[in-house]
Structure 1
Amino acid sequence: MYVYQSIAQSLCDHGFDTMFGLMGDANLFMVDHYVRSGGGTFVPVAFEGSAVLMALAHGRVSGRVGIATVTHGPALTNCVTALTEGARGRVPMVLLAGDTAVSNPQNLQNIDQRETVKVTGAGFEQMRSPETASYDVAHAIYRAQVEKRPIVLNMPVDFMWQEIEHTRHVFPAFNAPSHVPEGKDLDEAVGMIASARRPIILAGIGAKDAVAQITKLADRLEAPLATTLKAKGMFRDHPYNIDIFGTLSTPAAYDAIAKADCVIAFGTSLHHFTTDQGALMKNKRVVQVNNTVTEVAKNYHPDVALVADAGLTADNIVWWLNEAEIPASGFTAELDMDVLTAHPKGNPDKAKPGFVNFEYALDRLESALPRDRFLTTDGGRFMTEVWCRISCPNAESFIASTNFGSIGLGLQVAIGTGFAVPDRPVVLFTGDGGFMMGGINEFNTAVRMNQDLIVIVANDSAYGAEHIQFLDRNMDPGLSMFDWPSFARIATALGGHGVVVNSVESLEDAIRAIDTRDKPLLIELRLDPNDVPRMRI
């Protein structure tokens, strides 16, 4: 067996059936063997960074390690933003990157690939020799699982046609739940919770597997539930779910959070957007539960922290409350949930001719989009209204590509998600600048792959965040304005179906197109740049 065959076989040994990538001279034979002999699905992208983003989304949604491949040099540098997004999001994936032969230092595409990867926060694994190829693949996959970040496996091109004997290597990752805490820290945490009169429970995406236990604790305390942005939808069906905690809360929910005297936070690092830079934690006891010690006090120093499994800890707290016969707080009885969760309705008459009111369009889309949707969002000034007004079935059905603050990543994430949930529609909200940057590159990929994808482009003909800054300083925003082409026409030209929405009537046409779609659909919302809601973060 040749090395390129051994690498492909190693992926099959692990049961990986989907790989995203772009072929070049350093990985094309491996990809070919993976498809023709291994029976794997290869998703060819238009831009290398897209492969990483798709693999990140596919891995996160499927619960497995995402797999991507690119060739060497500029192919890898084109992945820097995507790798950083994955590293900051703590998403396990492996990028199989070719590398220039050591014997060819004058190759135009030769760079120090280890140093390139290091700046992103991703891990680097060097394929050491032809004989260790399968071991090195397995070890990279293992590292991705336990380190919870992308790992780049560096594959020298001069190894590929060397003959070896393939050995199967699959290393198990030991991910047993962390221990239940005990001792002084637990005593202090239980004491704070037991004495609270207005406790509130906050959960992040790190607690996604503990919904039942956390809900049981909330019911025992009669405490409302809230989530971080990444965990949006986690408690959607609970009667005392106040939705997103922090700067994205409704004004009434923000006031209710401010009145709380204890926050019990599970699986979150307490980012400053969540805490409103600490303002929402003032005059409160804060108990933080996280199974990763480096996430504790990363952004905010709690009064007590328990490095432990969320579900086991929630159950343990309930046991001690019952053992001590601590009465429920009664906080939920003070709350009017209809008021706490209501966002102001959009006004269709507010829009100028040729535009549609953004809030009204979102309200209509919320009721018209498929109920079993998987929701994804890009970055941009439009996004906070989307997060607040567009729901998702649960926390596992939502991804916001915002870990690095980049725009132009959303469509790639949506496509990767589609391969993980092929029986469900994927909905992406993106801005005009983000779609120009990364969406046009890959919309045809969704067409070629026949995905059930609905893309809503918020087109205000501007880079919105910069537009606002110019206006706030009474300056001419002209440099932030762009006369973009019609995204709806581009979508149609790329093989999908596009609809322009510039009135209430055309919005209804778009909604009918949702119901009759048989190919990737793009809905272009034409927005007045001076009438787009401000970001809430």
Structure 2
Amino acid sequence: MADETIYVHQSIAQSVLDHGIDTLFGLMGDANLFMVDHYVRACGGRFVPAAYEGSSVLMALAWSHVSGKVAAATVTHGPALTNCVTALTEGARGHIPMVLLAGDTPVTAPQNLQNIDQREVVKVTGAGFEQMRAPATAAQDVANAFYRARVEKRPIVLNMPADFMWEEVTHEKTVYPVFQTPAYVPEGDDLDQAVGMIASARRPVILAGGGATGARDNLIRLADRLEAPLATTLKAKGLFNDHPYNMDIFGTLSTPAAYDVIGKADCVIAFGASLHYFTTDKGALMKGKRVVQVNDDPAAVGRNHHPDAALVADAGLTADNIHWWLDEAEIAPSGFTKELDSAELTAHPPGDAEKAAPGCVNYVWALDRLEEALPKERILTTDGGRFMTEVWCRISAPDPQSFIVTANFGSIGLGLQEAIGASLAAPDRPVVHFTGDGGFMMGGVNEFNTAVRLGQDLIVIVCNDSAYGAEHIQFVDRRMDPGLSQFDWPSFAEVATALGGQGLCVQSQDDFETALEAIGKRDRPLLIELRLDPDDVPRMRI
């Protein structure tokens, strides 16, 4: 198609394909329908239509997370874009690269009912805005949007005026390379200070965040050299699975044994972590310790907790460099791991099946059973709500790329859409999604049939306490009537069945055994509705 005269909507579609995007999420409207049509019919791309515009962005975010690539979605103008505000904010705060191709009303029609200042709409979300400047620059502007998404690690909205779409242009393939050579600090006072603190530590702990997920082997080598236990932030969950001194999540989500170990530590070496206050338990876990922070983003250093030493550098290269200096100086291992009981480090207190109200099951007990019964090669996604922190603690994920948290903006109702996107990125793997009743009603019920239409291997666990749990507990704490936070929902199991999936309601231990059998026999999206007592669901561990 190079140097061929075509229409702008065709050039945009071809440009998306030029960037290796073979799956496009979205919802069609006046400003993007011809582009989508050409992308599918002439370019051979796959279009995944969502029921709601924001869902298409969420699907793309999850697709990006699981695939490790920049994703793309498209919507039309005005209310279609405003319907994406929460999803774009979720992506921006999660630093997830994707491009949203958004139409805009014609410049010549300022009285169009859907006209709005789309730059200002995007600005409040934290996403980037890229204006399509002219018909002749369409391919360049698409390339700029994809380049910025990769470099800035956030969603970029490409604003496409509808009156450009049928203008004739000459298409030329344009893809801008991204240069991301990792670097480390080879020498200097900062390095000397950091290595000195690590070398003198008697009870060091290595902490990995989302920015260090590519450095697993390097960090394990350093931990073994130091005889230090390993832990992760929530976003790096699963990184050190199967290591004997893996403590899993560091902070408010730690097991009692791991929390005690962290409390005894005298040095925390944090790689690729911003040291959020959930990770540090509002700073309590950092008191009396030297903190060394390694992050390739200068803005992340000291953002939430000011370290005693810091290196702006690549996690893997820096871990290897520290290892080399420890050997060079003949520093003895700390011996800290010899004091630890590895079996206790990841053991949470078990649930009790008998502690359940009539017509309900014990939530913690159910999670422990599901951990054993769910497919091991799963991708794990969670919606937001009071139920979520116990899921994060008790349900494992194979690795960080197989674990998706939709809580970057603290919203509910975003999870099922991301589960669908994750499944499309890894169609040969089962996706397990945990959601609350409120979140499923807000966003999940809109898209469950999308998963059915796509024939996805999806297991949805609805933790139904018939309440907005985070609000319910606040009423109870103040000895107020929680009635306004409680709901008489329809049967989610029956809704799932009506939408083409299989739904099962669990109100007893016998029902639970039936549901576990269904997991192994599933042939369509399966929804398991756990009926819970709102007074039985543990408080959020935050």
Q: TM-score range by the shorter chain?
A: over 0.9
Find out whether 1:197 has 2:202 as its counterpart: yes
Distance 2:535 2:370 in 1: 22
Hey, what does 1:248 align to over in structure 2?
253
Residue identity opposite 1:425 in structure 2: P
Give the 3-state SS of the residue equivalent to 1:392 in structure 2.
coil
Residue identity opposite 1:348 in structure 2: A
Hey, what does 1:411 align to over in structure 2?
416
**What 5-or-longer segments of structure 1 have no aligned partner?**
none
Distance 2:18 2:241 in 1: 39
Hey, what does 2:321 align to over in structure 1?
316
Deviations 1:118-169 (A, max 9, x none): 0000000000000000010011000000000000000000000111111110
Give the 3-state SS of the residue equivalent to 1:529 in structure 2.
coil
Residue identity opposite 1:362 in structure 2: L
Q: CA deviation at 1:342?
A: 1.2
Q: CA deviation at 1:383?
A: 0.6
Give the counterpart of 1:432 among 437, 440, 446: 437
Distance 1:478 1:188 in 2: 57
Find out whether 1:237 has 2:262 as its counterpart: no
Hey, what does 2:83 align to over in structure 1?
78
Hey, what does 2:495 align to over in structure 1?
490
Residue identity opposite 2:250 in structure 1: F
Hey, what does 1:455 align to over in structure 2?
460
Deviations 1:155-194 (A, max 9, x none): 0000001111111101111111123342000000000000
With normalisation by structure 1, the TM-score equals 0.99
Preserved CA contact (<8 Å) 1:87 1:149: yes
Preserved CA contact (<8 Å) 1:208 1:234: yes
Give the 3-state SS of the residue equivalent to 1:153 in structure 2.
strand
Hey, what does 1:296 align to over in structure 2?
301
Give the 3-state SS of the residue equivalent to 1:415 in structure 2.
helix
Give the counterpart of 1:50 among 39, 52, 55: 55
Give the 3-state SS of the residue equivalent to 1:272 in structure 2.
coil
**What 5-or-longer segments of structure 2 have no aligned partner?**
1-5
Preserved CA contact (<8 Å) 2:495 2:503: yes
Hey, what does 1:270 align to over in structure 2?
275
Distance 1:186 1:136 in 2: 41
How many equivalent residue pairs? 537
Give the counterpart of 1:123 among 104, 123, 128: 128
Give the 3-state SS of the residue equivalent to 1:38 in structure 2.
coil
Q: CA deviation at 1:445?
A: 0.5
Distance 2:181 2:449 in 1: 41
Hey, what does 2:528 align to over in structure 1?
523
Hey, what does 2:537 align to over in structure 1?
532
Distance 1:80 1:181 in 2: 43
Q: CA deviation at 1:344?
A: 1.3
Hey, what does 2:19 align to over in structure 1?
14
Q: CA deviation at 1:465?
A: 0.4
Farther-moved stretch of structure 1 (339-348 vs 274-283): 339-348
Q: CA deviation at 1:352?
A: 1.6
Give the 3-state SS of the residue equivalent to 2:234 in structure 1.
coil
Q: CA deviation at 1:472?
A: 0.2
Distance 2:304 2:454 in 1: 41
Deviations 1:30-58 (A, max 9, x none): 00000001111100000000000100110
Distance 2:187 2:263 in 1: 30
Percent of aligned pairs with the same residue?
A: 75
Hey, what does 2:471 align to over in structure 1?
466
Farther-moved stretch of structure 1 (171-180 vs 24-33): 171-180
Q: Where do 1:112-191 residues align within 5 Å?
A: 112-191=117-196
Post-superposition, which runs of at least 4 consecutive aligned residues in structure 1 deviate over 3 A?
none
Hey, what does 2:3 align to over in structure 1?
none
Preserved CA contact (<8 Å) 2:206 2:223: yes
Hey, what does 2:362 align to over in structure 1?
357
Residue identity opposite 1:291 in structure 2: D
Deviations 1:375-419 (A, max 9, x none): 010110001111111011111110111100000000011000001
Preserved CA contact (<8 Å) 1:427 1:455: yes
Preserved CA contact (<8 Å) 1:181 1:307: no
CA RMSD of aligned residues (A): 0.6
Find out whether 1:30 has 2:59 as its counterpart: no
